[in-house]
Amino acid sequence: MTTTERTSASAASGVAASGVAESGVASERALETAERTLALVRARAAEAEVEVTVRQGLEALTRFATGFIHQNVASEINHVVIRVALDGRNASTSVDGPADDESLGRAIDNVLEAARVRPPDPDWPGLAEPARAPDVDHFDEATAAATPDERAARVRAFVDAADGLETAGFCSTSTVHLAFANSLGQRLAGRGTAAELDGIARTPTADGSARRVSVRLGDLDGRFVGERAATKARTASDPTDLEPGRYEVVLEPGCVANILSFLLVAGFNGKAVEEGRSFARLGEARFDRSIVLREDVTEPDTIGIPFDIEGTPKRTLDLVRNGITSGLLHTRRTARAAGAQSTGHAVEGGAAWGALGANLVFGAGDASSDELVAGVERGVLVTDFWYTRILDPRTQVVTGLTRNGVWLIEDGKIVRPVTNLRFTQSFLEALGPDAVRGISRERALVLGGWDSIYLMPSLHLASWNFTGGAKG
């Protein structure tokens, strides 16, 4: 996405201040842009089916390394997506930057010409009928107005809490106003804010990470996050090797979100099911009975917008209930093929992979994180995964590495830090019947972008296959 960057702190502050001054009407302004774009298309091709999505807002970032802030940027977003269909021949385009009639007109002329020369699309699902989106407003005025100084205060607290350790990371705030209009009369507008503090503290032999995500910048306690990262780094220092093999594991929320990202893309995805690439079969008990997964933009502790790029309201949907696969995610296209209804999970540019879960909520358990560790006979505590790659979508065999703190647990106590490990593991097997020994009551938001938001607990799993060290 093309954006206009302002790299000075004063410019970023000015943009944020002007943005919050107009926040009460920003969503209406985005909807007006969508309506105007729709009218421009219809003036050129009255018979066209048309949908327009407008995304406007501000993304601001304060980045730090070696204990010092070295970057403040603020990016204004003005992004218009136009999709047209003429007798089942469809095409789409987008415009970034000023959405004046001249710029929009050029894009519209080009997309109409592209649609006219394309072959008919036999699977064209048509446009979304008028329908109301869930009544949610994951928005915070103070976060929309956040200044570089406010983000810097969180960074300062993080660095101070690390107490002399080398640190690096970022604090970000973002504001989005999303609007949709189509030629069938569907009209939707929504808004959202998000704030994130993510940092690493480092000793000569170990890194420790911690993060916090919320709709409100005010929820980000820099000292708490910094202390957690520093404690992890110190307790993970001077690690020793661990023999490969199968171990019990306690996986923190970042790891759990990584697992669920694979299950969503290659599992609970209507397109993957249609093409035979998915494990998911409705009614099958593939998971432990303790697992409850749902898509739910109405969850108070999440963030996001309550409709998708196609103008379909997001549905609250159980994907797994008591271990049984009970729902699949659909776009309008995959729903048509399956004889189902769209669940409101289409994303821009996502035709190649289908519906993506945007607000995944993993049901909380009844144990504290410390109690999960106390329940391990001999196993491994893992902070993060990285470099994860899927080997087999149908069995969900994935390989990857641990990161940012790994410890051996014996008889319910952490006994020593260990070096990073490689694993090759079926995520289905790891979450299968009788494989989940504990779920924490505490959950954390993990943000992978506005289309990838996870509310995840920590998990105690019965078995995880570590195949070697990070170098082997």
10 vs 236, residue with greater confidence: 236
The whole-number average pLDDT for the span 139-151 is 97
Predicted pLDDT at 11:
37
Question: Is 204 within 8 Å of 53 (Cβ atoms)?
Answer: no
The whole-number average pLDDT for the span 289-313 is 97
Predicted pLDDT at 25:
80
Domain range annotation of the chain:
4-222, 245-469
Question: Is 25 within 8 Å of 33 (Cβ atoms)?
Answer: no
Predicted pLDDT at 1:
34
Question: Is 80 within 8 Å of 38 (Cβ atoms)?
Answer: no
Predicted pLDDT at 24:
55
Residue 300 to residues 135, 220, 293, 304, 312, Cα–Cα distance (Å): 12, 17, 16, 11, 21
When pLDDT is cut at 50, 70 and 90, the band that residue 143 belongs to is very high
Which residue in 185, 183, 188 sits closest to 83, CA to CA? Answer: 183
**Structural tokens at position 155:** 């960074």
Which of 14-23, 223-232, 363-372 has the weakest average pLDDT? Answer: 14-23
Is 3.30.2290.10 the CATH number for 4-222? yes
Whether 297 has a pLDDT exceeding 80, the answer reads yes
Predicted pLDDT at 352:
85
Whether 232 has a pLDDT exceeding 80, the answer reads yes
The whole-number average pLDDT for the span 198-205 is 98
The whole-number average pLDDT for the span 135-143 is 96
The whole-number average pLDDT for the span 217-228 is 98
Query: For 326-348, what is each residue's pLDDT tens digit?
Result: 999 999 999 999 999 999 999 99
When pLDDT is cut at 50, 70 and 90, the band that residue 23 belongs to is low
Query: For 440-472, what is each residue's pLDDT tens digit?
Result: 999 999 998 778 899 999 999 999 999 998 765
Predicted pLDDT at 75:
95
Kindly report the average pLDDT of the chain as a whole number.
Answer: 93
How many helices (H) and strands (E) would you count in the chain?
11, 18
Predicted pLDDT at 8:
36
Whether 162 has a pLDDT exceeding 80, the answer reads yes
Whether 5 has a pLDDT exceeding 80, the answer reads no
For the beta carbon of residue 69, count every other beta carbon within 10 angstroms.
18
Radius of gyration of the chain (CA): 24
Predicted pLDDT at 351:
85
When pLDDT is cut at 50, 70 and 90, the band that residue 234 belongs to is very high
Predicted pLDDT at 400:
97
Query: For 30-60, what is each residue's pLDDT tens digit?
Result: 999 999 999 999 999 999 999 999 999 999 9
The whole-number average pLDDT for the span 191-207 is 98
For the beta carbon of residue 428, count every other beta carbon within 10 angstroms.
21
Whether 21 has a pLDDT exceeding 50, the answer reads no
Query: Distance between CA atoms of 42 and 37, rounded to whole angstroms?
Result: 9
Pairing mode, strands 359-362 and 166-182:
unpaired
Query: For 55-97, what is each residue's pLDDT tens digit?
Result: 999 999 999 999 999 999 999 999 999 999 999 999 999 999 9
Pairing mode, strands 245-251 and 378-392:
parallel
Angle between helices 222-235 and 148-162 (to 10 degrees): 30
Helix/strand/coil for 84:
strand
Whether 14 has a pLDDT exceeding 80, the answer reads no
Instruction: Tell me the percentage of the chain whose pLDDT exceeds 90.
Output: 90
**Structural tokens at position 174:** 């973002």
